[in-house]
Amino acid sequence: MKISDKISMCLRNLWRRKMRTFLTTFGVVIGTCAIIVMVSLGVGMDKAQSDMLEGMGNLTLINVYEGYDYETYQAMQAMGRDMSNPPKLNYDAVRQMKQLPNVRAATPMEYLWEEVVLHVDERYCYRGNVIGIDMESMEAFGFSLEEGRFPTKSEYKTAVVAGSQAAYRFTDTKRKRDNSVSPYPDEYGRIKDPFVDLQKDRLLCNINKQDNGSYYDDNQKVPTGNGTYPMKVTGVLKTDDEGMVDRDFNTRSAVYIDVTRAQELRKEYQKKNKIRSSADTSYNQVYVMADSIDTVEAVEAAIKNLGYSTYSLSSQRKEMQKSTRTIQMILGGLAGISLLVAALGITNTMIMSIYERTREIGIMKVLGCVVGNIRTIFLMEAGCIGLLGGVLGIGISYGISFMLNVILNKASGDGGMMMGGMYGWSMGGMTQYSIIPSWLVAGALAFAVCIGLASGFYPANRAVKISALEAIKHE
């Protein structure tokens, strides 16, 4: 029997019992829709969480802190290792991290909170963060310049890379009122110029006095007698992020200097103010960048083995994905029940079909039809029901998904963006609570066809076992 004959006979048999075929197919449609829609809600949630974390920062960036990670501490303690002296987060530690596999770059971060005062003309004082960084690694960490250039090694001692709005963080110490300028438009839409021009004005760095306070104090003055050093702004950072919050690094209001120079200034501050300090200095924090999202976990594990604690958005993302997958499995399992019911319907339909076509089966056997052909015809009928139900279910699922997104967006009203950030993915002005990816469509269709074939397997085998003589006698 030719394949075309089998297909023709299969379609004729299904069409002959249109109502039964329709009702059985409708059960598959419901099951397919339930699976696709349920899983699509989980996909929308997963997409929303990933986009939210990506909006918060670089997923390949790892924050490293001094001190053992809790799990590593427990494991090493169980092995009998001495945990009383955790390794210092110093130059050697950073050098070790740079040599780890899958590490693109590493830099220490040294924050000068009160050690220095940056000023122009001993009148305009900088009220912002002075951060020491490995200037050689700035480009690798994604820093880009709006104007100017990154400093060369010979300039590291005096070089400053300023944030895009750092000039607006200078206040006029000679004024009691209106002593600062806002970088944002006023009520008339105008943006005023700052007091200083960092590219032209002469910038100086003074070692602060202990009783002069930090940049948080409005009454902080320019200290004298402790040492004054000229600084040069070589470049102004570009801020690509929208809104008023930086993602990974402060590229708006902070100024960056070389980390070695930052440590030198801190030591000088301690010396001038007679503050005792440890001989073995450690960095406040270290940033490590993995070469891809897939290698972040391995890099974090290697850093923890060195004796340090880590934090990354990528590790948080993995925990969130675990929760989302659990939700998807629960939703998919509940939807799968309806497809199981549809499978029982297909089995029932095919068994009823065998009873009604017993004589037909006997005639085919008498005429010499191969047993395998009879089995194939019944399997094709069951598979066609699964295929048709899967195709219709996919089409209806797209419509349900669209309606869900419209209804939920309207229902959420003004809270749509907030809800979308947690449970959906914003695209084209409308939050996508339900997302149907191509793999879900292919998987649902394959599953529906497999359900149809599996449901028809028992009836098909039963059909080929019928005796030809008894089948012919059957009325």
Question: For the segment 218-249, what is each residue's pLDDT rounded down to a tens digit?
Answer: 667 888 888 889 999 999 998 865 554 566 78
- Using only C-alpha atoms, the chain has a radius of gyration, in whole angstroms, of 35
Between 245 and 105, whose confidence is greater? 105
Q: Mean pLDDT across the stretch 422-438? A: 65
Instruction: Answer whether residue 101 shows pLDDT above 90.
Output: yes
Say if residues 248 and 156 touch (Cβ distance below 8 Å): no
Would you report the helix, strand and coil content of the chain in percent, each value rounded to 5?
50, 15, 30
Specify burial of residue 248 (Cβ count, 10 A radius: 0-12, 13-18, 19+).
Answer: middle
Q: What is the pLDDT of residue 289?
A: 92
Q: Is the dihedral of CA 297, 298, 303, 305 positive or negative?
A: positive
Range from 235-239, 280-284, 304-308 carrying the lowest mean pLDDT: 280-284
Q: Which of 398, 358, 391, 384 is nearest to 456 (CA)?
A: 384
Tally of residues, the chain: 475
pTM of the model: 0.65
Q: Percent of the chain beyond pLDDT 90? A: 24
Q: What is the pLDDT of residue 203?
A: 94
Q: Mean pLDDT across the stretch 30-52? A: 79
Reported confidence tier of residue 460, pLDDT bands at 50, 70, 90: low
Range from 194-203, 204-213, 280-289, 369-378 carrying the lowest mean pLDDT: 369-378
